[in-house]
Each structure stands twice: as C-alpha cells, then as structure tokens.
C-alpha cells in the first residue's frame, strides 16, 4: 500500500494517495510494522507538501524522521531532505 500511495503521489492522484496512504498507515500501526509506518508518514509529508499544506507536511515529516532515526533505517536521509525542502519553502 505504501508504494501504491507513493506512485499515486507521483501521478498527482492526490485524493486517492491520501486515502490509500492513511489506510496503509493505520494497518502498519496495527500490525506493528514500524519501518513501513515511517515510510507511510514520509509519504504523507510529501503529499501534504504538494497540496500546499506545509504545517501538516512538517508534522508528518518530523514523525517519519524520528521513527526512521530510532529504527536506524536508510529512510532517514529522505526525511532529512524533505525537511530541508519544507524549511526552505518557509524562507
């Protein structure tokens, strides 16, 4: 589901991406797949950034970065890049 949501973001199918990524996030939290949860949070951050909802995007990005850092997974770099993009948009 996470990859499908990421694909829908790239295809600019934002309503479907939002629905599917939120559903994926709920499932990953329910089953305890924390790495997939971090990925879903990062995807939600990207999606909200593209929708012009910077504050919401920052919140998801911070959650994704914290979780990816805690888990020590490579997603940390992507989250840091997204966070830098969000900060630069504020300036």
Are 56 and 48 within 8 A, CB to CB? yes
pLDDT for residue 91? 67
pLDDT at residue 5, as a whole number:
80
Q: What is the pLDDT of residue 2?
A: 52
pLDDT value at position 42?
A: 96
Each residue's pLDDT, cut to its tens digit, for the chain (91 residues) gives 457 788 999 999 999 999 999 999 999 999 999 999 999 999 999 999 999 999 999 999 999 999 999 999 999 999 999 999 999 987 6
Q: Extract the tokens encoding 59.
A: 């919140």
In the chain, the domains with their CATH numbers are 2-90 (1.25.40.10)
Q: Compute the distance between CA of residue 68 and CA of residue 41 in angstroms, rounded to an integer.
A: 10
């Amino acid at each position: 589901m996470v990859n499908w949501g990421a694909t829908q973001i790239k295809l600019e199918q934002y309503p479907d991406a939002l629905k599917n990524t939120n559903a994926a996030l709920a499932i990953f939290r329910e089953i305890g797949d924390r790495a997939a949860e971090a990925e879903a949070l990062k995807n939600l951050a990207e999606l909200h950034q593209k929708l012009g909802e910077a504050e919401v995007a920052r919140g998801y990005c911070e959650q994704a970065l914290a979780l990816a850092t805690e888990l020590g997974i490579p997603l940390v770099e992507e989250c840091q890049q997204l966070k830098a993009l969000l900060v630069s948009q504020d300036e």
